[in-house]
Amino acid sequence: MKRVSKALHENVLGTGIFYSPLSTTENNISKPKSLHQLKTIYSRHSTLSDLIDFTQIYPQSRIMNTQTLVAQVYSAFNRRDIDGTLALMSENVSWPKASEGGRVVGKQDISAYWTRQWAEFDPYVEVLQVIEREAGKTDVKVHQLVKNLKGDVLSDTELWHVYTIANGLIERMDIKEGESNSDIGPSAAFSGHNHAK
């Protein structure tokens, strides 16, 4: 059987997708109560066929996992850690170009877009609230502060980001910002139409 590599263990744990070994009967499924216990289980079970989705045993863990994923995404973005942010996304992730208008699809194009954005703007985004919806949708209320490279505040607002998440990775992000649509034109936060509150 194919062995689960250490890298896969770390990636799974790092992205908040938890697994537990499948016993011979459903009633005997091991239920780890902590990350330490989970890592101990991982060290004993090293085949993919022995593992099942931990969130099926503990559905409430999905909420914690999603909140962790969201926190990691914004933390990496604010640090300008492109690789760290993209590691939390699917290969064909779809992302709005808030500072330019339109969308990009795929990690390479998102990386190029952020590089252009950060050469002109200095955005900082703080998570205020996370609400999980059905069908993998997650609404994230954020406080977004956008400055130019001179330090002048262009926008200081609260708005909603809507994520589609599957298998512990972000597949799509949309911006809810009043009546504007960043799929068509630049977000007001980057166009200078929305000044500091």
Secondary structure of 18-51 as H, E, C letters: CEEECCCCHHHCCCCCCHHHHHHHHHHCCEHHHE
Residue 181 above 70 pLDDT?
Answer: no
Angle at the Cα of 145 (from 141 to 147), degrees rounded to 5? Answer: 155
Task: Say which residue, 64 or 163, is predicted with more confidence.
Answer: 163
3-class state of residue 151 by DSSP: coil
Task: Say which residue, 137 or 176, is predicted with more confidence.
Answer: 137
**pLDDT tens, residue by residue, 83-110:** 999 999 999 999 999 999 999 999 999 9
**pLDDT tens, residue by residue, 39-74:** 455 455 444 334 444 445 545 444 448 999 999 999
Residue 11 above 90 pLDDT?
Answer: no
Calpha distance 142→126 (Å, rounded): 5
For residue 4, name the pLDDT band (cuts at 50, 70, 90): very low
Q: What is the mean pLDDT of residues 115-119?
A: 97
Element (H, E) at 190: helix 188-191
3-class state of residue 182 by DSSP: coil
Residue 116 above 70 pLDDT?
Answer: yes
What's the pLDDT at 20? Answer: 41
What's the pLDDT at 147? Answer: 96
For residue 183, name the pLDDT band (cuts at 50, 70, 90): low
Q: What is the mean pLDDT of residues 12-34?
A: 43
Task: Say which residue, 51 or 192, is predicted with more confidence.
Answer: 192
Question: In the block, which residue shows the tokens 């795929």?
Answer: 106
What's the pLDDT at 44? Answer: 52
What's the pLDDT at 65? Answer: 87
